[in-house]
Amino acid sequence: MTVEAGEIVGLLGANGAGKTTLIRMLLGLVLPSEGTIRLFGRPPSRETRVRLGYVPQGLGLYTDLTAVENLDFVAHAFAHNGLPETSKVAPEAGGRLVGDIGLGLQRRLAFEAALGHEPGLLILDEPTSGVDPLSRTRLWDTIHVQAERGVGVLVTTHYMQEAQQCDRLVLMSRGRRVAAGSDADIIGSTTAAEVDPAADWSRAFAVLDAAGLPVTLAGRRVRVADTPPERVRDVLAAGGVEAGVRSVPATLEEKMIIIERAATSGPSAPVASTRTAST
């Protein structure tokens, strides 16, 4: 996989798929057992790390320091001066310790810390987890601004709405790349069987789930990915549920479920080589 300058690449996969491990390889914290990693055309090193901006799941902030002290520490670590004075978060934090400010403000602070040294590649590991929709939108505005400036962005997320904001997606399962492209490319012609919403949705869900089908719930709409409507209708009838079933386009989340089920039910395979580059 590659991340080009000015491109936002979304890295998707279930928990344990290998997303964070791949990121740790990019940071130079873990050596790959196979394959090659290149950052700006070179192996990961202290020199390439200086050109990376990183926001981990845990934000990487010192909760017993103030916002200004956190930014000052990062600025000195990257030999970059003047970061605290340009901060938009520090005035809002008002001199409080980071542990005493809200999560949304903490995430904005983590972004400032990651961007202060003007990186060429921004790596974000679930950067909007746990924040409200408005804060999430503002953080994504920041991501798009950086991409427009020519910064490459690699971001992991569990929010499908965020995945649709990426220029390209890479799906991982068990340490392997299993699909790549836009959401439309990945979904392709895959369909889902949707149960008539007028039916007893809770009972329909229970019957389909007991049959081992890849059933999901969108509101009160029961859907079964990659399964003919006739099959769903027969299973429901056998369970005493009479309902209409129609074929609809699958969602990205449903396609991911299909891919993950296929990967976990198939024979064990060695981890594929991952070649990652950013320019």
Q: Which domains, from first to last, does the chain contain?
A: 2-184+270-278 (3.40.50.300), 191-249 (3.30.70.790)
Torsion of CA 94, 95, 99, 101, to 10 degrees: 0
* Residue 243 phi, psi dihedral angles, 5° rounding: -155, 150
DSSP state at residue 39: B
Our CA angle for 129, 261, 276, nearest 5°, is 60
| CA 194/CA 247 separation, integer angstroms | 6
Which range has the worst mean pLDDT, 14-23, 133-142, 269-278? 269-278
Higher local confidence (pLDDT), 160 or 122: 122
Segment 39-57, tens digit of pLDDT: 898 888 888 888 889 988 8
Which one of 86-95, 158-167, 231-240 scores highest in mean pLDDT? Answer: 231-240
- DSSP for residue 206: H
Sign of torsion over alpha carbons 147, 4, 120, 69: positive
Closest CA to 178 of 257, 279, 278: 257
By the 8 A CB rule, do 11 and 123 touch?
A: no
Q: Are the C-beta atoms of residues 235 and 207 closer than 8 Å to each other?
A: yes
Token pair belonging to 9: 């690449």
pLDDT band of residue 275 (cuts 50, 70, 90) is: very low
Outline where 27-159 has alpha helix (H): 46-49, 67-77, 89-93, 103-115, 133-148
The average pLDDT across 165-194 equals: 88
User: For residue 153, what pLDDT is reported?
Assistant: 94
Is residue 129 helix, strand or coil?
A: coil
Residue 234 phi, psi (nearest 5): -65, -40
Q: Which of 122-131, 221-230, 259-268 comes out lowest in average pLDDT?
A: 259-268
Dihedral pair phi/psi, residue 47, rounded to 5°:
-70, -40
| 271 CB-contact burial (10 Å; exposed 0-12 / middle 13-18 / buried 19+) | middle
CA 208 to chain centre: 29
Higher-confidence residue: 29 or 275? 29
Mean pLDDT, residues 69-77: 83
Tokens representing residue 137 in the block: 């939108």
CA 130 distance to own-chain centroid: 13
- 201-210 and 229-238 are packed helices; what angle lies between their axes, rounded to 10 degrees? 100
Q: Is the pLDDT of residue 198 over 50?
A: yes
Kindly report the pTM of this predicted structure.
0.78
Least confident of 115-129, 143-157, 254-268: 254-268
Torsion angle of C-alpha atoms 168, 120, 271, 24, degrees rounded to 10 = -130
The answer to whether 154 and 114 have CB atoms below 8 angstroms apart is no
Residue 106: predicted pLDDT: 85
